[in-house]
Every structure is written in structure tokens, then in C-alpha cells.
Structure 1
Amino acid sequence: MKKNFKVETKLVQSLEEFKEGEPRVYPLVQSTTYNYKDPDFVADLFNLTESGYFYSRIGNPTVQAFENKIAQLEGGVGAVAVSSGQAATTMAILNICNSGDHIVACSTIYGGTFTLLSSSLKKLGIDISFFGPDSSENEILALFKDNTKALFGESIGNPGLNVLDFEKLSNAAKKAGVPFIVDNTIATPYLCRPIEHGANIVIHSATKYIDGQASCLGGIVVDAGNFNWNNGKFPGLVEPDPSYHGLSYHEAFKEAAYIAKARTHILRDFGAALSAFNAFIYLRGLETLHVRMDRHSENALKVAEFLEGHENVAWVNYPKLKSDKYYALADKYLEKGGSGIILFGIKGGAKEGLEFTKKLNWINNVVHLGDVRTCVLHPGSTTHRQLTDEEQIAAGVRPEAIRLNVGIENVDDIINDLKQALQ
């Protein structure tokens, strides 16, 4: 019955089954290890022939409750939670890519992800080709090579706020025979469900809206279970793994092969485990996600309309503005709202933009988004400063751009502070 609930009810209600007298709120299991009487059963756990917990780096009851909830919210067959959003992106890629492989990605992605793909992974021998969000399907397909292993994009680009053309990218990925990976951090599973639009793998920085309080780091990778890994391109998922006595993930775990390998190989060896306490906090955050995202989206649209009409604002990007370039895609893929991020430019350029952020009274400069509190950031000098001027423009970051995280305060108070700083 619970699987048929609407998303709002799924967010509030626990998806776990409780016995009489057990806690109503899923408990925090703050333990690194677990007791067993039978050593043969423990051996079977290590052989992946039994399910259970033996060490919290690979699995913990509270963490798994969070994983199960996100997997069901996104419509996947399983999920693995990790220590940060950046760790989630790294896991999603390293699970299927080796030295000598190649990735195709949208250029308008988070600056940290851009650097991970273009610099750190490149040092490991994984090459990258970027395309603009408005590139045609044929232009994107022209970037694919025989060794391409994934197509990557963000449902709502950070900070450019382009809305991903799921149909176009999903078609390109299918034609190339590679998985379509989508970072759904800004949209959340409440505003957008990428798997319903052709995604094969979904990732989140849970640090953002899932938490909502700016209190703890975390990330998660979700497997849609809808990709054929036995197509000749992904031997790591199909051929025997010597570290598990010749086990084939594809044969042993069927549709959940990708997420099983992510846990038992990448998480096991790289160790970016999510703490049980953070998972406990995230389970609480999910209970109010829909209420918060409705308010974030409502406030952001009102603020975007105010900014669009102000004489000292040069331009405004917000996908739910009817004048926005991506309004049609937002109308198609973001029915419930456009989330809480606005990107806008101050007339006069970067210098005036920085002056504007200094003149705000209570809206502070914060290197974060997805918080209930309104805050601003100048991406060109912070999150994207490691990129060249040309790379910043390609990522949707102009020198004068200001990223505004619209919180859930009274919208009149938000607008009044912006108004006085714009004078």
C-alpha cells in the first residue's frame, strides 16, 4: 500500500515496517559493528550470499533506512549513501569508469563537479568532453567515442539554472549505449523524478535541500535498475570480480548490479561512508521536504518577478519565469515548482555585483544552497573561481552574476532587503 502513496505522504510516513511497541521514529543506530553467533553466516555476508550488517562502512540500519526512502522516492531499485555530494558524483563515475575511459557532460554543472571531471578524474586517465545545454542531439552524439561510458547532467544547472532536456539527452544516451546520470540536487525528488524521464542513475548532494538546515554533509547514488550493463561496454559489472571469488554482479544482483557494485566495491575500498547520525538527520529533513520546496519555489518566483522589474538588474534566470529561456522545459519537467535558486546580474558588472552583496542587511554571503535561510553568493569569485573566464561563461556564470538562495522566510522581508541594496 505504501508504494502507492503520493510523494507527499511517502516523505512524511516511514517506509519501514514496525512491530508492536517499536519506535515510531526510525532510531539512530550508532554502532560500527554487529553481533553474530554463527561465523559461517558472517562469512556468507562477506561473500555477498547473505544480506545483513557487519561493518558500518558498508552498511548501517539507519543509513539503509535513508537509502531505501530515497530509492523509493526516486523510483529506483536501490541506493548507496555516502559522505558528501562530491563523493556521490565520484562514486557514480568510478563505479563504471576506468583509466582510458571517457565521459560526456553538460557544461553548466556545479563548479566542483566541473573540476572533478576536468581535472581530478582526468589525472586518473578518465577523459571528458563538455557540451552546452542548448546543443542538438547530433552535436552531443558527435562527442561520443568508443570508450565513452556515461552522459552526465544536472536536472537544474547550478548556478546557470538551465533545465535539462531529458528527452534529448536520454535519446542520445540510448543511441550511444551508455547510462544517463543526472544530479537532481536542486530539483529534489519532490519537484522532479529523472528516472521517469529516462535517467539510469540519479545522484544528490543531501547536504542541500534534503537536509534543509545546513547542518550535515552527505550524498546519495540511486540506481534506476533500467540499464542493460551486459552490452559489452561494462566488463566490470559483468565479468567475474576476483575480490569476491569470481562473483559477477550482473548475474548475482540482476537489475541491481550497478548499486551492488557501488556498495561492495567502491564504498568498501574508498570508504566515503555516511555517518548514521547524518542519515538520522536526513530522515527528519525528508519529512518536511515537500512543505519547504513549495515555499522555496513560491518565494523564489515572487523574488524573481521583483528582480526582473528592477531598473538596476540587468537580467534574471529563474526557470518558472514566463520570460525565461527554459520556461517550456520547466513547465514540462518541473510541474510543482522551480526550486529556490535565482541567478541574476547587477547592472555595472562584477564590481557592482560584489558591492550589492555587501549592502544587504540580513541576507548574508554563504557558500551553500538549499538552506531554509536566504543567502547570496558571487559564483565568479567563489564556487567557480578555479575556472577560466571562458569556462565560467560556458558554465552559465557571467562576471556580474549573483546566486540567490531564496529561503522560506516572509517574502516581503526578503524583497525589502534586496530592494534597499539595489538602490
Structure 2
Amino acid sequence: MTQGTLNQQSQVTNEDSNTRGTSDCESRILDGFATRSVHAGYTPDDNRDSSSVPLYQSVAYGMETAERGDALAGGETAGFSYSRVANPTVAVLEQRLAALEGGSSAVAVGSGMAAVSYALLCAAEGGGRIISPTDLYGASVDAMETFFPQFGIHTDFVHDINDLAEVESTIGPDTRAIFAESVANPSTEITDLKPLADLAHRHGIPLIVDNTIPTPYLLRPIEFGADVVVHSTTKGITGHGNALGGVIIDAGHFDWANGRFPQFTANELVVSDERHGQWHSFASRFGKDAYIRRIRIKYVRTFGAVMAPFNAYLSLVGLETISQRVRQQTVSALAVAEHLRTLPHVTHVNYSGLADHPQHALAEQYLPHGVGQILSFTVDGDETNVYRILDHTKLFSYVPNIGDARSLIVNPSRITHREVPEVYRIAAGVSDNLIRLSIGLEDVADLNADLDQAIANAY
């Protein structure tokens, strides 16, 4: 095994409590979500008793002796040697997010799109196919529509991910994964996770879910059968618009050696000991952890979309207030959505948290505490009216981001979904008259007043 592989095969095991050496009593203390968001994955006495997670801004770490260096490189002992594969600050974030999502392990990466790309490529590499709706974040659609095919990986897009008959009709021998957003961006349509997961598992394929919008505070897809969860930690997890990042979280229960995924059962030098004639595949070496180990060892180590330690530190700081932030933003988003419906020139509001929304029953089932801070709405007139609204807001920032403590506004068809083919955009409701909002922590009355004056000035 190469030195860069390090010992992350043993380092990031992400126990459910995510604190190494935690007793059963201490694990019960960490049961609460808000408690885990502050404490999971970190032990002060392992870090000179620092109450806050230290920032380990170091590229490499002393291996102490030649014997220990060999054991580190071979994955036979726990520790760190090179930050392209593992960093102590990043490791705490990985363990904490795995704990919050109910996963067994996680790998943090440089951005949300790196998380989506690595998660899907790892499952489908070698010529596999992915099933996905088109009602997704624009860059995800673009990657699957135009870029992944350059690597021999193709996507079968379905009109409605909740139409199980349509989804099942696209499953073939080369299908390697079903991918969906738990709450779609920007329509806020909800994926019916449990039956979709059951369908995937009947065919021996995993369900991979982008859970960025609700965050694990509002929804944990693994509890409903998802096998892999991805996030853009840039958004609601970090919460302050100051640190790019992404994470891939493995539930740890999918069988990657079931015959559909030859990349997991082929022997590979990077996880073997050639000198002693001991050959392994990822499946034989790591069992149910084969997927997340391949993400770290093959994708992060080789492609190098590493999360910076400082970004991990900022994400950890943001996580400490995720419960309070997302709770307030969700309450405010519902209030703004209800207010928008009373305004002239607003023709439709997309927010599945509204009581009369067609997916109200799904919202109650999967998101009883709300569907999050994102909503969108259409206005009458034409695109010039949309431009005027954008230009007249004073409190909302015209920014292509979501999940910030500040409220944000954007026109998706020209910004976040510009690269999506028109037929997909229109089917997803992303017209030139659509405006997306990400609700922050300002007073709702002030946000509503800003929308009132911006819309009035636009006409």
C-alpha cells in the first residue's frame, strides 16, 4: 500500500457515537441531535484538553519511526501522515456528520459537487448507468447529462422519481445506482424515500440521496433506507457562506459484492500486500465499508478534491448552531411563502411545507419539523420584471448560494440552472419567471417588506 493511502482504513470508523473509546453511558448522553452537533467525534483529552476542535493546518505528520511509518502506510495502525487523505480536523467533521446522519462512516471533500461526482462515479465506474430525476441542482444535471458520459457513465432520467413504475422500467443490468435529492432545488419537491429504497434494494442497487436542503436536522434519509447520503456542506451545514465543502456519508449496510459492482471485487494493489503475496479487493478487505474506503483511497487520494482543514474548522463551528439556525429559517420560510401568496404579480409559490401543497402528506411523513429554508415563486410579466425585482431588493442578497444566515435571492434559469437543457428546466418548473429564495435569520417582517417593495417597483 502506498504511503498516501495512510491508515484511514482504520482511522475513520465513525462509531454511532463517533467518540473513540466512548462508554455505553456516554453514548446515551450523545443521543440528542443538538448534543451530537456540538460534541460528536471529538475527545478533548486526545487534543491537549482543547475544548474547541483544534485547526490542524499541516500538510503532513511525523511518522516517528520507520516501523510505525510502514504500519501507517499499510493501514495496520491508527494515525495520520498526509493531509491529502486524512487530516485530524477534517476527521472530526467526518465523524460528526456521520453521527448526525446516522451513518457508519464519512469522507469530506472540497465541495458539494465533488461529493455528488465522487459518490456517483464510485458506484457507476466501469460503464454503469444511473437513474435520476431532472428536478435537481443544475450542476448535478449537467454532470450526468454531458460530462459523465465522457467517462462511459450514463444517466437514465425519469420524469417523476416517485413514480416507481417509471423508475423500475429503466432498471437494467448495467444500472448501478438511483440518485435523488431529498428535497429538490428549487421546486422543494420531496422524494418518497422508503418505497424508492425498497425498489432499489430489490434490484441490488443502492439509493444515493443528496440531503443538502433539509440538512440532517430536518431529515435523515438513512433512516428511510438510503445507502449513501451526500451534502454540500457549503450550505446549511456550515450556514454562514464562508467555507466550501462536501461530504459523502455511508450507511454501511449495502452489499457492494453482490455481483453488480466489479470494481469492488477486483484485486487492487493499493489495498493489498504484494511483498507477502496477500491480495485483496475492496470488498474482501473492508466488507460493508468497501464503498467509503474506495471513495477515500481511490477518489480523494487520487483526484485530490480535499477539504481544507480551515474549511472543516468553519463547518464545525457552523454545525454547533445548526439546530437553532435551521429551525428558525424553516419557520421564517413558511411565513414568507404564505406572505408571497397574498401579493399581486406573484402567480405561484413552490414550497412543499405549505398546508395545501399536494405533497403535504409526504412532508408530514419525512419532514415533520419543516422542509427547510428554500422556496421559489413565479411572477407575471416577463424576464425584465424578474430583473427589476432582483435589482430592487435591499435586504436579500443576489447570491448563487443557499443555507446562509443571510437571506439570498437568485433567478435559477439564468444562474444556477443555466446549463440545464430547456426541456428539463421547463419540466422542473424552472422558467425565466422563477425566483428562488434562501431564507436567513433576519426578521420575517423585514424580509416581507423587502419583497413587497421590490415587487411593487418591478411593475
Per the normalisation by structure 2, the TM-score is: 0.89
Cα 1:45–1:395 change in 2 (3 A) is farther
Question: Aligned equivalents of 1:132 and 1:349: distance in 2?
Answer: 27
User: Could you list the per-position Cα deviations for residues 127-183 of structure 1 after superposition, in whole angstroms to 9, with x for gaps in the alignment?
Assistant: 111112365211111111111101000011011110111023112211221110000
Asked if 1:290 is matched to 2:323, the reply is yes
Question: Aligned equivalents of 1:2 and 1:339: distance in 2?
Answer: 31
Asked if structure 1 preserves the Cα contact closer than 8 Å seen for 2:37 and 2:320, the reply is yes
Q: Secondary structure at the match of 2:290?
A: helix
RMSD of aligned C-alpha atoms? Answer: 1.5
Question: Aligned equivalents of 1:264 and 1:412: distance in 2?
Answer: 50
Asked if 1:240 is matched to 2:273, the reply is no
2:437 corresponds to: 404
* Aligned with 2:342 (options 309, 317, 321): 309
Asked if structure 2 preserves the Cα contact closer than 8 Å seen for 1:133 and 1:164, the reply is no
2:299 corresponds to: 266
Letter of the 1:6 counterpart: G
Question: Aligned equivalents of 2:126 and 2:267: distance in 1?
Answer: 19
Asked if structure 2 preserves the Cα contact closer than 8 Å seen for 1:367 and 1:377, the reply is yes
Report which stretch shifted further, 34-43 or 158-167.
34-43
Q: Secondary structure at the match of 1:9?
A: helix
* Aligned with 2:237 (options 186, 207, 210): 210
Letter of the 1:361 counterpart: K
Q: Secondary structure at the match of 1:128?
A: strand
2:390 corresponds to: 357
Deviation (angstroms), 1:27: 0.5
Deviation (angstroms), 1:247: 2.3
Report which stretch shifted further, 315-324 or 13-22.
13-22
Letter of the 1:16 counterpart: Y
Letter of the 1:420 counterpart: Q
Question: Aligned equivalents of 1:25 and 1:172: distance in 2?
Answer: 43
Report which stretch shifted further, 98-107 or 145-154.
98-107
Letter of the 1:77 counterpart: S
Letter of the 1:419 counterpart: D
Asked if 1:33 is matched to 2:60, the reply is yes
Letter of the 1:15 counterpart: G
- Structure 1 unaligned runs (5+)? none
Q: Secondary structure at the match of 1:381?
A: coil
1:9 corresponds to: 35
Deviation (angstroms), 1:100: 1.9
Letter of the 2:201 counterpart: K
Asked if structure 2 preserves the Cα contact closer than 8 Å seen for 1:14 and 1:26, the reply is no
1:170 corresponds to: 197
Question: Aligned equivalents of 2:230 and 2:203: distance in 1?
Answer: 21
Cα 1:253–1:99 change in 2 (3 A) is closer
Question: Aligned equivalents of 2:394 and 2:449: distance in 1?
Answer: 10
User: Could you list the per-position Cα deviations for residues 35-62 of structure 1 after superposition, in whole angstroms to 9, with x for gaps in the alignment?
Assistant: 1232232223222233321100000110
Asked if 1:389 is matched to 2:417, the reply is no
Asked if structure 2 preserves the Cα contact closer than 8 Å seen for 1:213 and 1:372, the reply is yes
Report which stretch shifted further, 369-378 or 130-139.
130-139
Count of residues paired in the alignment: 423
The correspondence of residues 369-384 of structure 1 with structure 2, limited to 5 A, is 369-384=402-417
Deviation (angstroms), 1:364: 2.4
Letter of the 2:172 counterpart: K
Asked if structure 1 preserves the Cα contact closer than 8 Å seen for 2:128 and 2:152, the reply is yes
Deviation (angstroms), 1:226: 1.3
Report which stretch shifted further, 8-17 or 170-179.
8-17
Question: Aligned equivalents of 2:262 and 2:67: distance in 1?
Answer: 30
Cα 1:419–1:18 change in 2 (3 A) is same
Letter of the 1:389 counterpart: E
* Aligned with 1:87 (options 96, 103, 114): 114
Asked if 1:194 is matched to 2:221, the reply is yes
Letter of the 1:305 counterpart: E
2:372 corresponds to: 339
The correspondence of residues 68-217 of structure 1 with structure 2, limited to 5 A, is 68-133=95-160, 135-217=162-244
Question: Aligned equivalents of 2:160 and 2:441: distance in 1?
Answer: 30
Q: Secondary structure at the match of 2:252?
A: coil
Q: List, as ranges, runs of 4+ consecutive aligned residues in structure 1 with deviation greater than 6 Å.
A: none
Letter of the 2:329 counterpart: H
1:222 corresponds to: 249
Letter of the 2:73 counterpart: F
Letter of the 2:415 counterpart: T
Deviation (angstroms), 1:14: 4.3
Deviation (angstroms), 1:309: 1.8
Question: Aligned equivalents of 1:70 and 1:108: distance in 2?
Answer: 26
Asked if structure 2 preserves the Cα contact closer than 8 Å seen for 1:351 and 1:400, the reply is no
Deviation (angstroms), 1:325: 2.4
1:55 corresponds to: 82
Report which stretch shifted further, 74-83 or 2-11.
2-11
Letter of the 2:56 counterpart: V
Asked if structure 2 preserves the Cα contact closer than 8 Å seen for 1:314 and 1:345, the reply is yes
Q: Secondary structure at the match of 1:31?
A: coil
Asked if structure 1 preserves the Cα contact closer than 8 Å seen for 2:379 and 2:386, the reply is yes
Asked if structure 1 preserves the Cα contact closer than 8 Å seen for 2:399 and 2:410, the reply is yes
Asked if structure 2 preserves the Cα contact closer than 8 Å seen for 1:104 and 1:152, the reply is yes
Letter of the 2:37 counterpart: L
Percent identical residues: 35
